[in-house]
Structure 1
Amino acid sequence: MELAWDDTGQGLPVVLLHAFPVNRRMWAAEREALAPRYRVITPDFRGHGESGLAEEDSTMERLAEDVCGLLDELKLERVVLGGLSMGGYAAFAFLGRHADRVAALVLADTRAGADSEDGRKARHDSAALAEKEGAGVIAERLLPKLLGATTQANKPEVVAAVRAMILSTPPAGIARALRGMAARSDSTPLLGAIRVPTLILVGEEDTLTPPAESEAMAKAIPGAALVKIPAAGHLANLEQPAAFTRALEDFLGSLRF
């Protein structure tokens, strides 16, 4: 199973893990802004973008091991690890298995907790729907949840870009990721043990992983910084790239190793 990724710039390596069900193109603004000072690595998860599709479900542990294998291939021992939404779930799985390889952590529009029983059922139902009817029905169901009201009203180009990324995702990749997310474990016990610099970002209009959840994570992680992005929903970096990237640059600039 082949992974696709972009590797841009030089300096402190920053690995950014994308959301479901889009791909590494969501990090274009961050790559452009950070590459003059940092080495920015943005993989496509299995079943997304230009990466291959495996037969088994895309559990968060498998995504984490894919990232670990990529770091091995690039001969990178420690990185700043960032993830948005599903990328955050994979980052938690990576942290649980390879904490020694994480120099700093960025968690955006994500949560530590596992799905509720209803949440798991909804994911399995959506997986079956994707396999039966394709990516289009998933796009139309998800877009109003992924993007904040401000973006939906005022940024049709962002809506179109997200829709295009979803439509480019193979239905089997969507289904396997949904089942993988449904199976993920509760990462809340990890929070108090995190000892690396941590930035938490969340869109103020995020209804999927609301700001209150990010506030709780920030309180649980020693020394974590929390930044709320105005006029942004669940895909905060795409909706308000300038504010998101500014917060990320400020955090990276504060790191001392």
Structure 2
Amino acid sequence: MSKKKQKSELSHQRFIDCRITIFIPTLSEHFKVIRVDFLDQGQSGKLVGKTYTQEIQVDLIQALLSHLNLESIHVCGISYGAEVALKFAIKYPNSTKRLMLFNCGAYTSPWLSEIGKSWIFTGKTRNGEHYYKTAIPVIYSPHFYEERLDWMKKREQILIPVFSNPDFLDQMERLTLSAESFDVRADLKKIKCPTFIISAEEDYLTPVFEQEYLAQNIEDSHWIKIPQTGHASMYEKPLIFTTLLTGFFGVKDTSYLI
């Protein structure tokens, strides 16, 4: 290749409604992309019968870097993945060059905890349609849902069989429970790397004020809001997602003398 590519790690949210591979061709033009399925996600191992916290996912990333002989990387996380990314940047600051956070807060709020419990309770019914109706519509903005209603209905038909699988529902329960103890409010000052925080104005899982709190408490941080967009901002506005990511991770300098 004509120029050395930066290493970028992309971790994502817990639902299978995450076709993250659609972004790889664009991102691979600029970076060597490391896409991570956490334990109990995607193609990674399943922790059947085990109780764990997000700490295991944090150490998984560091173990992967050691395996790949990488000292440091750019880290981008979305939702659950952004929570893990925050904990990673705090625990392994020397491994984190720049940090990008989509749609997350500094802790699992009582509001989000109750939403998570609704997913768990619905999952125990083993009814895929019920699980879809409980978990998926709230991820998208009302604007997107109405404008792309045909697409949403097609996704529903694809996902209901997946959400009817007891093994998958058990995975989602374990992942949801693993985030219950998430709280990095006391440690945000430890993050020293350049950090880019992205809000979605119609995010009803992690509202905008939660990213504002991150921006106020992370030293070298930058914060923007995407209008008329929900929690699944990377799918509602994929061009904006890739533009922000390639721009922030691709720019050579992070400070300028004006």
Q: Shorter chain as normaliser: what TM range?
A: 0.7 to 0.9
Shift of residue 178, structure 1, vs aligned partner: 1.1
Matched, 1:126 2:119: yes
In structure 2, C-alpha distance between the alignment counterparts of 1:82 and 1:58, rounded to whole Å: 22
- Aligned residue for 1:143? 136
In 1, Cα distance between the equivalents of 2:30 and 2:193?
A: 21
Residue 83 of structure 1 deviates from its aligned partner by: 0.7
Partner of 1:75: 69
Q: How does 1:160-199 map to 2 (within 5 A)?
A: 160-161=154-155, 164=158, 168=162, 170-184=168-182, 186-199=183-196
Secondary structure at the aligned position of 2:98 is classed as strand
The answer to whether the aligner puts 1:36 opposite 2:36 as a matched pair is no
Instruction: Quote how far apart the aligned CAs of 1:163 are.
Output: 7.4
1:220 aligns with 2:217: yes
Q: Aligned equivalents of 1:85 and 1:130: distance in 2?
A: 20
2:43 to 16, 38, 50: 50
Residue 238 (1) aligns with residue 235 (2): yes
Q: Whole-Å Cα distance in 1 between the matches of residues 160 and 66 of structure 2? A: 29
What's the secondary structure of 1:200's corresponding residue?
A: strand
- Which range is displaced more, 172-181 or 205-214? 205-214
User: Which residue number in structure 2 is paired with residue 92 of structure 1?
Assistant: 86
Post-superposition offset of 1:244: 1.6
Cα separation, partners in 2 of 1:27 and 1:165, compared to 1, 3 Å = farther
Please give the per-residue CA displacement for 1:109-148, whole angstroms capped at 9, x wherever unaligned: 00112332x6445534532432441554322211121111
- Give unmatched runs, 5+ long, in structure 1: 1-9
Runs of 4+ residues over 6 Å off in structure 1: none
Q: What TM-score do you get using the length of structure 2 for normalisation?
A: 0.85
SS at match of 2:179: helix
User: How many angstroms does 1:96 deviate by?
Assistant: 2.9
Q: Using the TM superposition, name which of 218-227 and 160-169 deviates more.
A: 160-169
Matches within 5 A, 1:246-257: 246-256=243-253
Instruction: Tell me what 1:5 maps to.
Output: none
Change in 2 beyond 3 A, CA 1:167/1:72: farther
C-alpha contact 1:57 1:177 (8 A) present in aligned 2: no
> Aligned AA for 1:181?
A
8 Å Cα contact 2:89/2:99 also seen in 1:
no
**Could you tell me how far 1:88 is from its partner in structure 2?**
1.0
Q: Which moved more, 1:187-196 or 1:131-140?
A: 131-140
Count, aligned residues = 246
Alpha-carbon deviations, 1:182-233, whole Å to 9, x = none?
Answer: 132x111222221101111121211111122212211221231112122310
Deviations 1:14-67 (A, max 9, x none): 1111112237x5323432222112111111122222222113235211111222
Worse-superposed segment, 139-148 or 163-172 = 163-172
Q: Alignment partner of 2:29: what SS?
A: coil
Q: Measure the CA separation in 2 of the matches of 1:20 and 1:92.
A: 16
The unaligned stretches of length 5 or more in structure 2 are none
Distance 1:135 1:43, change over 3 A: farther
Larger-gyration structure (1/2): 2
Q: For residue 204 of structure 1, what is the aligned residue in structure 2?
A: 201
Measured after TM superposition, the shift of residue 84 of structure 1 is 0.7
The AA in structure 2 aligned to 1:228 is K
Looking at structure 1, the residues matched to 242 and 135 of structure 2 have their Cα atoms a distance apart, in angstroms, of: 24
1:15 match: secondary structure = strand
Measure, in 2, the Cα distance between the counterparts of 1:236 and 1:212: 16
**What is the CA RMSD across the aligned residues, in angstroms?**
2.5
2:101 aligned with 1:102, yes or no?
no
Structure 2 Cα separation of the partners of residues 209 and 119 of structure 1:
7
